Amino acid sequence: MINFITKVITFIGGLYFFLEFILPKKFSIFQSEIFFGKYHDQISLSLVLISCVAVGLGVINILTIHGSVILSKKSGFSSSLVLILSFFFSLFIQSASWINKESHLSSWKDLDAISTYVSKAPDTSLEKLDNNLKIVLENNRTPEGVSKESYLLFISNLRKELEFNLNTNKDIFPTSLKEIISNKISEFKNISLREHEKMLANTFYERSEKVILNGLFFPLGASMFSLLAFYISYAAYRSFRIRSLEAACMMLAALLIILGQIPQGSMYISESLPEFRLWIMENLSTPALRAIAFGSAVAGLSLSLRMWLSMDKGSFN
Amino acid sequence: MKFTDRHVVFILVAICLSVPIVMGISTVPAPMKTANKAFDYIESLPEGDSKGVVVALDFGPGTSAENKPQAKLVMEHLMRKRIPFAVTSLYVLSTPFLKDLPQQVAKDLEKENPSLKREYGRDWVNLGYFQNGTIFLQSLARSEDWISQIKADVNGTPLEQLPVMKSFKNLKSVSSLVELTGLTGVFSSWLQFFQTTEYTPVMIHGCTSITIPDAFIFFSSGQIRGFFEGIAGAAWYEERIKQSYPQRVLNYAQSVNTGTSFAQLMIIFIIIIGNIKTYLGWRKKRSE
């Protein structure tokens, strides 16, 4: 039964995304208008949910496999221990840092709401803005990163400016007034946030996050990839032997491509080398690669069809 | 420890790569038609264009040696021409680059000339990382109002508060897309789905050296206007920027390109040595 339900859901899902891609936004059948894909964004969110489930599955998988290695003290248990500890440590640091940032941002909600109100409010309701600013003052919630005095001063100045423009400066165009107020709020927020970010960067969680990401993760990732340069060079030295005509052709093409793209080729050998390289890329390499791409696209299509129609034996049997 | 051929090759590669980078040696790169096309297109955009450019940084630390200079050069060019841009990504590992690279370029430009001061929110916006690439791109391309769809920037600031968002109302308000990645899957997602039947923004691509042949397929078909062929393409783009802005003092790609060019020459040299060695061994065996 579960197999059957899974197959049906897979088929309906595939059919929906296929139709959504090929059908126009609006079309009519039997004199009734159909908006296919009206709820596409909401449906697409289901994929985000599936990704979240996949994260949970990954965590359970890591804990089960490496946890059992640690508990039974199998060979390589020290590596598993390092992995689990690093996982929990970085999870803790990143979460704490994220909570820190979020709590900081949420303290700016009042001012953000005012700014959103200003940009969306109809021109006639600008008088209400003053009331909103009064509520902000009464709420008495000072955002993080700014002193209470300067915040209150800023809000009262904003009110004064608004009152002045609405009562005295009657000629001002409402959209210009909106822009003035919006700019003032965003300028105040930008300056305060910049200062506060500097302060936040010195907290323990932020510094630890920086060490994990900029000090460990990124250099290690780059080092892993850069090792390729060494291994490829050695592999070329060991195995690139001109033993046949094909190998000679390949060597010649490689030589021309390399010399055509490095500065020394056009500087010391011939200025037309880059042109020659381009000719090889456009007229020899591209058609061959395009043929391969077509082949793999057709193969991909047949694979997708098999998955969509649940014809792959391995999936459910 | 026995000193073998492998050690010699590794040491030679390390020296060839590191000396030009550490010493800041740079040579004039080989001209690249693909980078020329990319440069000419961005140069042709009007100064202070009202249409925005989306810069997708879909790379992590693995390919940052090639993609990072490309990203910096495009941002520099856009900032010099005061063209508003939005940075975003479909690749989670690129999130620190989204924040740091534009800031770094803005800082460098301001250092070069204080009148070139560029600010977050007015000249560029960081839309952050988006999950579910293909699906997200489809809905973004169709959306009539990006501000209400994306809602906030990476700092949580509502997008309507940022003046730069005037240039990013929807797909039609975007003149071009600059997509920098070493991942061909992500590249094809942007290529296929960041368009509608009525409008397709001009696409500029930055790839790694390994994916150059793949990018040529779309360049010759006209789907991408121009592209950076790895670090060599970035170096030539930098040369073009230098020619257009002679007061420029920055060096983002040319030292690295010089380093890799020496390493490539060294590879040719060791292949020749390897073949000579094999030939001598074969002759010795035959004479015995």
Among the partner residues A51, A185, A225, nearest to B132 by beta-carbon distance:
A51
Are A75 and A111 found together in one domain?
no
A161-175, A269-283, B41-55, range with the lowest pLDDT: A161-175
| Average pLDDT value over all residues in chain A | 83
Are A132 and A189 found together in one domain?
yes
For residue A201, how far is the Cα from the chain centroid?
Answer: 22
Residue B234 lies in a domain: yes
pLDDT at A126 over 90: no
Residue B270 lies in a domain: no
Distance linking the first and last C-alpha atoms of chain A: 12
User: Which ipTM value was assigned to this complex?
Assistant: 0.87
Residue B278 lies in a domain: no
For residue A137, how far is the Cα from the chain centroid?
Answer: 37
B32 touches chain A (CB under 8 A): yes
Are A57 and A118 found together in one domain?
no
> Cβ contacts of residue A275 below 8 Å, gap of 6+?
A260
Chain A residues near residue B5 by CB distance under 8 angstroms? 237
Residue A40: its pLDDT value, please? 78
Domain range for B141: 28-258
A180-184, A251-255, B63-67, range with the lowest pLDDT: A180-184
Residue B19 lies in a domain: no
Inter-chain CB proximity B157 and A274 less than 8 Å: no
Position B31, amino acid: P
B195-217 exposure pattern, b = at least 16 Cβ within 10 A, e = fewer? beeeeebbbbbbbbbebbbbbbb
- Domain with residue B98: its CATH number is 3.40.50
Residue A59 lies in a domain: yes
B261 touches chain A (CB under 8 A): yes
Domain range for A183: 107-200
Residue B13 lies in a domain: no
Chain A residues near residue B280 by CB distance under 8 angstroms? none
pLDDT at A120 over 70: no
pLDDT at B139 over 80: yes
Among the partner residues A222, A232, A265, nearest to B65 by beta-carbon distance:
A222
Q: How many structural domains does chain B have?
A: 1
Query: For B27-43, what is the mean pLDDT?
Result: 95
Beta bridge partners of B53: B85, B176
Distance from the A73 Cα atom to the nearest Cα atom in chain B, whole angstroms? 33
Angle between helices B184-193 and B212-220 (to 10 degrees): 20
B245 touches chain A (CB under 8 A): no
How far apart are the C-alpha atoms of A316 and A313, rounded to whole Å? 6
The chain A residue lying nearest B257, using CA atoms, is A262
How far apart are the C-alpha atoms of B277 and A208, rounded to whole Å? 52
Residue B77: its pLDDT value, please? 96
Are A192 and A147 found together in one domain?
yes
End-of-domain residue from the set A56, A90, A124: A90
Distance from the B30 Cα atom to the nearest Cα atom in chain A, whole angstroms? 5
Residue B265 lies in a domain: no
**Which among A233, A239, A282 is the top mutation candidate for probing chain B, defined by the most B β-carbons within 10 Å of its own β-carbon?**
A233
The chain A residue lying nearest B268, using CA atoms, is A255
Chain A residues near residue B18 by CB distance under 8 angstroms? none
Residue B280 lies in a domain: no
Beta bridge partners of B85: B53, B124
Which two three-digit tokens encode residue A131? Answer: 């009331």
Are A170 and A251 found together in one domain?
no
Inter-chain CB proximity A261 and B163 less than 8 Å: no
Residue A231 lies in a domain: no
Residue B3: its pLDDT value, please? 81
Are A78 and A112 found together in one domain?
no
Are A71 and A122 found together in one domain?
no
**Which among A40, A230, A237 is the top mutation candidate for probing chain B, defined by the most B β-carbons within 10 Å of its own β-carbon?**
A237
Residue B209 lies in a domain: yes
What is the sign, positive or negative, of the torsion defined by CA atoms of B120, A193, A205, A88?
Answer: negative
Residue A301: its pLDDT value, please? 92
Residue A256: its pLDDT value, please? 93
In this structure, the dihedral spanned by the alpha carbons of residues A105, A111, A115 and A117, taken in order and rounded to 10 degrees, is 110
Chain B residues near residue A290 by CB distance under 8 angstroms? 217
How many interface pairs between A and B have CB atoms less than 8 angstroms apart? 164
The chain A residue lying nearest B100, using CA atoms, is A214
Inter-chain CB proximity A47 and B132 less than 8 Å: yes
B274 touches chain A (CB under 8 A): yes
User: Closest Cα partner for A19 from A36, A32, A35, A6?
Assistant: A36
A71-91 exposure pattern, b = at least 16 Cβ within 10 A, e = fewer? eeeeeeeeebeeebeeeeebe
Residue B56: its pLDDT value, please? 96
pLDDT at A174 over 70: no
Q: How many structural domains does chain A have?
A: 3
pLDDT exceeding 90 applies to what percent of chain A? 32
Q: Give DSSP secondary structure letters for chain A.
A: -HHHHHHHHHHHHHHHHHHHHHS-SEEEETTEEEETTTTHHHHHHHHHHHHHHHHHHHHHHHHHHHHHHHHTT-TTHHHHHHHHHHHHHHHHHHHHHHHHHHHHHHTTHHHHHHHHHHHHS-GGGGHHHHHHHHHHHHHT-PPTTS-HHHHHHHHHHHHHHHHHHHHT-TTS-HHHHHHHHHHHHHHHHHHHHHHHHHHHTTSHHHHHHHIIIIIIIHHHHHHHHHHHHHHHHHHHHHH----SHHHHHHHHHHHHHHHHHSHHIIIII-TTHHHHHHHHIIIIIHHHHHHHHHHHHHHHHHHHHHHHTT--HHHH-
